[in-house]
Amino acid sequence: MVDVCNYSQTYKLFGEVNHMSPDDHYQNLKRVIAAVGGKARRITVIMPFLYESRQHKRSTRESLDCAVALQELVRMGVDNIITFDAHDPRVQNAIPLSGFETVQPVYQFIKGLLKSEKDLTIDSDHMMIISPDEGGMKRAVYLANVLGLDIGMFYKRRDYTRVVDGRNPIVAHEFLGSDVEGKDLIIYDDMISSGESCLEVARALKERKARRVYIFATFGLFTNGLSEFDKAYKDGVITKVFTTNLIYQTPGLLERPWYWSCGMSKYIAYIIDTLNHDSSISDLLDPVDRIQNAVARYREEQAGANQETSAE
């Protein structure tokens, strides 16, 4: 198991304290595999945030580090690679004959939302799923279909004549979807990097008179710090942000009133146990029944609480 995003780990070199980079963690992973020396019956790598996976396609002179890394691990004898919410699952085409699974933590998000909020009405008249860009539509469509909700999408209109900080700046977020007024909205994305994009989407939804805005993101990197999220929470732009504990979380993040950490340890333990018993993990990869059962229990609890209130 390796968390390539864990920058909390440090080492000293030439008298300087350095924070470990994704490259450092990846090299350590290869060292562990090399130390095994071909003696293991089977090697499975669980890498929640897939190394260099944001650079998933070549448009100019990109090096495609993720595809090269996957091929390198397979050549070293790795049998299975398990990751979570890969930025683009098609990267597995680099190793088409080897085991590769990209797992969605959608059940853990729903469970966290239902625990944290007790007054949700989960139907298409009161709730909606939002994809912050066209690339995230597949995960948003899946969640919307499981919950029986409507879906909306933002299109990022970029200025391709300029490059700012290595990318084309976003000119505007154009919304495609039905009316969001008075609805609770879930923005569902694979990661929060700086958070600039998802906060702009949240503000655009609030301008359209959305009721509450929740953000689901598998990986909360928060590369620009937490101040913008603090401000958005204070201004009522966002209600809560849900990310997993699959990567390093700072103590400051865990203390924030707007943040909810969705634990994945139990789920990963199930996956490891199933693999070690040479069983199929297919049932673990499809959480539809578990999500619908959780929603059904939530509605029953709401109905029971309403009856008690009426009796009083």
The pLDDT value given to residue 102: 92
Cα dihedral 263, 265, 267, 268, rounded to 10, equals 140
pLDDT single digits (tens) 168-191: 777 777 888 889 999 999 999 999
User: Average pLDDT of the chain?
Assistant: 90
For residue 113, count CB atoms less than 10 angstroms from its CB and return exposed for 0-12, middle for 13-18, buried for 19 or more.
buried
The pLDDT value given to residue 70: 95
Q: Which residues of the chain have pLDDT under 70?
A: 56, 166-167, 309-312
Beta pairing, strands 10-13 & 184-192 = unpaired
The pLDDT value given to residue 311: 65
The pLDDT value given to residue 285: 86
The pLDDT value given to residue 59: 73
For residue 157, count CB atoms less than 10 angstroms from its CB and return exposed for 0-12, middle for 13-18, buried for 19 or more.
exposed
Determine the 3-state secondary structure of 17 from DSSP. Answer: strand
The 8-class DSSP code of residue 114 comes to H
The pLDDT value given to residue 56: 65
Q: Which two tokens stand for residue 108?
A: 């853990």
Determine the 3-state secondary structure of 170 from DSSP. Answer: strand
The pLDDT value given to residue 159: 72
The pLDDT value given to residue 8: 92
Contact between 27 and 2 (Cβ < 8 Å): no
The pLDDT value given to residue 284: 85
The 8-class DSSP code of residue 195 comes to S
Neighbours of 184 (CB within 10 A): 21
